[in-house]
């Protein structure tokens, strides 16, 4: 893999390797100060640039901390839409061409336009890897990998899971990438739950069909979660609403104590975060709530990813 733009690129052996590496990085990170110092010597002399045109807490900080933990130097702009030359009218292509001149090896990019990462790849020279940290309503492949890792850590397999994807599935890129990734495994079933107008898009439904992964759609949350091993909830992507789009508060689906009652005792609740109101605070103390731990997994998966790309350079 030269660039990482879509969850479609991941092969099963590669996913397995990333999980093993993430486990190992977690172990070494907790072992001792000595071991952390050794890790921090691993890629000394390498640098990456992180270029975020959209808000981010977890993706940017976990990537940057992951890089720092394995010795990679980081420079970063967290609000490139406003603070980079994009505000003056510079194109993605010109920005990427220019950053490549600084001889950094990885560019991690989040952008508000769907397809922005592909535009960056089209002009990236040989020495530069582009990692898509979220492109508009498109994909968020590193999130899919950490989500799959979280599922794997809990259920022990990426096969034969019953996954409920809920919330704003039309505009949320994390659910799209996760659906793509899990559809390549055997025996998974998806149930989509969303307010009218926010349903999962047809391209993903076709992708699932092509991969013989079954799916259904419902607006009955209680029935949907009943047999699920994974309940993956997402927020309304307010910033992506078009003019005239609206969703009434009472149309939004909320995971609360009453929904917990309908869930399996061994299920897990996931959310890419940030959570707004779609998971009630009362759920946080339930042992099935995995969203904060899920975010923590993200850093170890990103250490594994960066290690993979830097080791190939």
Written as six digits, the tokens of 15 are 């996913």
Asked if residue 298 lies in contact with residue 272, where contact means CB atoms within 8 angstroms, the answer is no
Judged by CB under 6 A, does residue 116 bind ligand NCD?
A: no
> Nearest to residue 291, comparing CAs of 158, 147, 176?
147
Q: With contact defined as beta carbons under 8 Å apart, do 231 and 267 qualify?
A: yes
Q: Rule CB under 6 A: choose which of 140, 154, 180, 290 binds ligand NCD.
A: 140
Among 50, 128, 131, 134, binds ligand NCD (CB under 6 A): 134
Nearest residue (beta carbon) to ligand NCD: 272
Q: Which two tokens stand for residue 264?
A: 């399996």
| Site membership for ligand NCD, residue 59 (CB under 6 A) | yes
Smallest distance from ligand NCD to CB 3, Å: 19
d(CA 239, CA 244): 13
Sign of the Cα pseudo-torsion (280, 286, 287, 292, in order) = positive
> How many CA atoms lie within 13 Å of 255's alpha carbon, on the beta-carbon side?
32
Closest approach of ligand NCD to the CB of residue 203, in Å: 17
Residue window 24-43: x/- pattern of binding to ligand NCD, with contact defined by CB under 6 A: --------------------
For 147, phi then psi, to 5°, come to -65, -45
Binding to ligand NCD (CB under 6 A) within 164-223 occurs at 172-174
What secondary structure letter does DSSP report for 241?
P
Residues designated as active site: 58-59, 88, 110, 140
Nearer to ligand NCD, 139 or 307 (CB): 139
> Given candidates 235, 255, 260, 279, which one binds ligand NCD under the rule CB under 6 A?
235
Q: What is the total count of residues that contact ligand NCD (CB under 6 A)?
A: 12
141-155 and 291-311 helices, crossing angle to 10°: 120
Contact predicate 213/190, CB 8 Å: yes
**Judged by CB under 6 A, does residue 62 bind ligand NCD?**
no
Which residue lies nearer to ligand NCD by CB, 141 or 172?
A: 172
CB of 44 to ligand NCD, least distance (A): 28
Secondary structure class of 208 (helix, strand, coil): helix
Q: Which of 104, 107, 224, 273 binds ligand NCD (CB under 6 A)?
A: 273
Closest CA to 64 of 79, 56, 74, 55: 74
Near ligand NCD by CB under 6 A: residue from 42, 58, 111, 302: 58
For ligand NCD, the closer of residues 142 and 162 by Cβ is 142
What lies within 8 Å, CB to CB, of 158 at 6+ separation is: 15, 148, 151, 152, 182, 185, 188
Q: Which is nearer to ligand NCD, 28 or 178 (CB)?
A: 178
> Is residue 143 involved in binding ligand NCD (CB under 6 A)?
yes
272 binds ligand NCD per the rule CB under 6 A = yes
Q: Tokens 């910033």 belong to which residue? A: 239
Report if residue 229 touches ligand NCD, rule: CB under 6 A.
no
Dihedral of CA 279/284/288/293: which sign? positive
Minimum distance between the CB of residue 25 and ligand NCD, rounded to whole angstroms? 19
Cβ closest to ligand NCD, residue 39 vs residue 295: 295
Separation of alpha carbons 103 and 271, rounded Å: 36
Q: Which residues bind ligand NCD (CB under 6 A)?
A: 58-59, 134, 140, 143, 172-174, 234-235, 272-273
């Amino acid at each position: 893999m030269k660039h990482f733009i879509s969850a479609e690129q991941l092969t099963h052996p590669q996913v397995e390797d990333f999980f093993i590496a993430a486990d190992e990085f977690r172990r070494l990170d907790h072992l001792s100060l000595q071991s952390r110092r050794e890790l921090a010597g691993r890629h000394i002399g390498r640098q990456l640039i992180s270029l975020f045109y959209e808000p981010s807490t977890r993706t940017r900080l976990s990537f940057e901390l992951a890089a720092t933990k394995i010795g990679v130097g980081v420079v970063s702009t967290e609000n490139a839409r406003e603070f980079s030359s994009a505000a003056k009218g510079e194109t993605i292509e010109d920005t990427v061409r220019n950053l490549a001149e600084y001889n950094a090896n990885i560019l991690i990019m989040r952008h508000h336009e769907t397809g922005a990462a592909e535009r960056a790849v089209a002009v990236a020279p040989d020495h530069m890897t582009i990692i898509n940290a979220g492109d508009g309503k498109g994909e968020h492949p590193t999130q899919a990998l950490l989500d799959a890792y979280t599922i794997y850590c809990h259920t022990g397999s990426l096969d034969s899971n019953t996954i409920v994807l809920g919330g704003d599935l039309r505009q949320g890129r994390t659910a799209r990438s996760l659906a793509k990734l899990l559809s390549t495994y055997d025996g998974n079933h998806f149930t989509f739950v969303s307010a009218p107008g926010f349903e999962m898009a047809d391209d993903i439904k076709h992708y699932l069909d092509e991969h013989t992964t079954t799916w259904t759609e419902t607006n009955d949350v209680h029935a949907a979660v009943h047999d699920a091993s994974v309940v993956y909830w997402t927020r309304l992507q307010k910033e992506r609403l078009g003019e005239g789009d609206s969703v009434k508060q009472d149309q939004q689906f909320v995971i609360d104590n009453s929904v917990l009652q309908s869930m399996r005792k061994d299920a897990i609740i996931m959310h890419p975060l940030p959570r707004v109101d779609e998971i009630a605070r009362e759920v946080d103390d339930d042992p099935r709530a995995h969203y904060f731990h899920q975010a923590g997994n993200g850093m170890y998966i990103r250490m594994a990813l960066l290690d993979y790309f830097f080791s190939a350079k």
